[in-house]
Structure 1
Amino acid sequence: MTDCKERSDRTIDGQPSYGKKVQHRKLSKKQVFKRSIFVFIGVVLEAVALETFLVPNGIIDGGIVGISIMLSHLTHIQIGIFLFLLNMPFCILGYKQMGKTFTVTSILAITALSIFTALLVPVPKFTGDYLLAAVFGGVLLGIGVGLVVRNGGSSDGTEILAVLTNKTSPFSVGETVMFVNIFILASAGFVFGWNNAMYSLIAYFIAFKMIDITVEGLESSRSVWIISNYPEEIGSALNDRLGRGITYLNGAGYYSGDDKQVIFIVITRLEEAKLKNIVEDIDSKAFLAFGDIHDVKGGRFKKQKIH
């Protein structure tokens, strides 16, 4: 059984961990190479999205990318120059807050993005249809940004700025990014016209969702907490019929003060209905709480053979 209280008593190399600084594990050469490849792919996708779908059609994204597109349109200077000049200060300022690995990865990603957008300038746009450009440009841009973020970097300084101002601002990181992007997307109406601004909103929304999918993965899982007077029976049934590992957590009722065993299990979305039926068959009054989780690793999440 797993006791919640045991979390504070973990040890490092057999010694109590109180006040002991945990050393960060360095990435192996293989891991660095793998991350670099995915960052490279992500940057290429971003550049293709910008130079062959969005920029030629006057459609922008949020953040520094959106500002760069508008400045490029107004000054007739290549977008890559603005991407580099506007993003770099945020990377440098965010060094202490974000760490060396993140900063170096971001600088490399931004530099590469600036170069690739310049190389793709002569390439003709794939389509002149604004809706197609917004959809496919948003998809490619979102996947590209997601690959960079998933592998430890960033190609846009807006979120770094939001993190830096988070301590002094009454707004969360997400709220700050949202406010900045609303202002940028609204500005597109004055630069490219309001039709383009609305197409830009479509591209931004699609890119936003694709970033989530790329970073978190398509196969999201569900965590489940179950409180019942029959924990052993429910745990055994879930293990036998779902093939999932079970963890028991020790708890106590606030009003009754009675000791309780809380069942914790991670399942896929497709198994949620079956889990509810299993618990209902054993204890119709059991308490169940569900939560969305992503990127499950380690432990015994991999499904076992069902007896």
Structure 2
Amino acid sequence: MKKIFSGIKTNAFWKNSLLIVLGSLITAVSISVFMVPYKIAPGGVSGIATVIYYLTSQKFPVGAIMLVLNIPLFVFGFKFIGRKFIVRTFFSTILLSVFIDFLEPYTRYFVDNYLVKVEPTPSVPDLFLYSIFGGFLMGLGLGMVFKAGATTGGSDLAARIANHFIANLTMGQLIMIIDTAIIICATIAFNSFHLGMYAIITLYISSKVIDAVLEGVNFAKSVLIISDKSDEIAARIMDVMDRGVTALRGIGMYTGKDKNVLLCIVHRGQLQQLKEIIMELDSNSFIILTDIREVLGEGFKTYDGN
């Protein structure tokens, strides 16, 4: 039995390590190719490093600047945050910094020869595309790192530390405040509102992709059915669609009568068939639909530890 659990832990360790490595690499590509060359600074330590990189006439590598900026956060982090989390985050932070500086000459060659080499001015529409693709890749990479139970340092780690001192603000609010402040500073430093707006676009897209990686895309629907013919509807759904149905006890407050409220989870492709079954048996029924990010269980997906 111990060997079985040991094997599970080992597999989880290597899976999380692989996610951290790949996620850090993808994030490094997004920063090196789509952000730093065009002065797009979407918050976080990478945003501060981009500003410093240009204010110092590109004397210091972006990855090295990020690593130096993260050191004080790790010093405080060891005191307030769990050891396992901080070790994983330290590992991913070092990887990200190394990847960025290692890839710098290759990404510079790619930018110079395959991307339109432009100055980031308001008249250049290409920056909009770069902010979109940069945000997508950054969100994908960070989402993989977060899924492995780590972060790449920066605003997320700073927010976790700040949360110990400012308990009335949530983690999400603290991250938003920190990233917004960094974007404002970058806007002032580069003297361009347009670059600030591109950074906001990148940050928004990145956050949405992170949510999709962590929670899954909207691939299922939760359906609540209120009907006087709940038994017939449930039987038809289970027989025709082979989907499970759960009856929740409810009371009609207007009539005072007990009734069953049916709960059913279906794939998006089955939604139309479900509606037709319900309307055929009771055209006066109420149907409430909600999006489901992720469903674990028979007929959907199994829990894999992440």
User: What is the TM-score of this pair, normalised by structure 2?
Assistant: 0.78
Which residue, 119, 136, 155 being the options, matches 2:102? 119
Q: Distance in 1 between matches of 2:251 and 2:80?
A: 39
Q: Distance in 2 between matches of 1:274 and 1:89?
A: 57
- 1:141 Cα deviation from its structure 2 partner: 1.4
Task: Evaluate the alpha carbon distance shift between residue 295 and residue 122 of structure 1 in structure 2; reply closer, same or farther with a 3 A threshold.
Answer: same
| SS of match in other structure, 2:105 | coil
The residue aligned with 2:183 is 185
The residue aligned with 1:136 is 133
In the TM superposition, what whole-angstrom CA distance separates every residue of 1:245-293 from its partner, at most 9, and x where no partner exists? 2222344556766544332211223333332332222233333333222
The residue aligned with 2:24 is 43
- The letter for the 1-side match of 2:141 is G
The residue aligned with 1:71 is 52
Which residue, 68, 72, 76 being the options, matches 1:85? 68
Structure with bigger helix share is 2
The farther-off stretch of 93-102 and 125-134 is 93-102
Q: Distance in 1 between matches of 2:19 and 2:12?
A: 11
The farther-off stretch of 36-45 and 203-212 is 203-212
- The letter for the 2-side match of 1:77 is F
| 8 A Cα contact 1:223 1:290, kept in partner | yes
- 1:170 Cα deviation from its structure 2 partner: 3.7
Task: Evaluate the alpha carbon distance shift between residue 228 and residue 149 of structure 1 in structure 2; reply closer, same or farther with a 3 A threshold.
Answer: same
Q: Distance in 1 between matches of 2:145 and 2:285?
A: 43
Q: Distance in 2 between matches of 1:300 and 1:181?
A: 40
Structure 1 spans left out of the alignment, 5+ residues: 1-24, 303-307
- The letter for the 1-side match of 2:212 is I
- RMSD of the TM alignment (CA)? 2.8
In the TM superposition, what whole-angstrom CA distance separates every residue of 1:182-225 from its partner, at most 9, and x where no partner exists? 22222222222313223222322332232223223345322222
The residue aligned with 1:172 is 170
Count of paired positions: 278
What does 1:1-307 correspond to in 2, within 5 Å?
28-75=9-56, 76-90=59-73, 93-94=76-77, 99-123=82-106, 124=108, 125-126=110-111, 127=115, 128=117, 129-166=126-163, 168-194=166-192, 195-252=194-251, 258-301=257-300
| 8 A Cα contact 2:139 2:209, kept in partner | yes
Q: Distance in 1 between matches of 2:275 and 2:223?
A: 10
Q: Distance in 2 between matches of 1:71 and 1:170?
A: 32
In the TM superposition, what whole-angstrom CA distance separates every residue of 1:70-92 from its partner, at most 9, and x where no partner exists? 12322332222332233354456
User: What is the TM-score of this pair, normalised by structure 1?
Assistant: 0.78
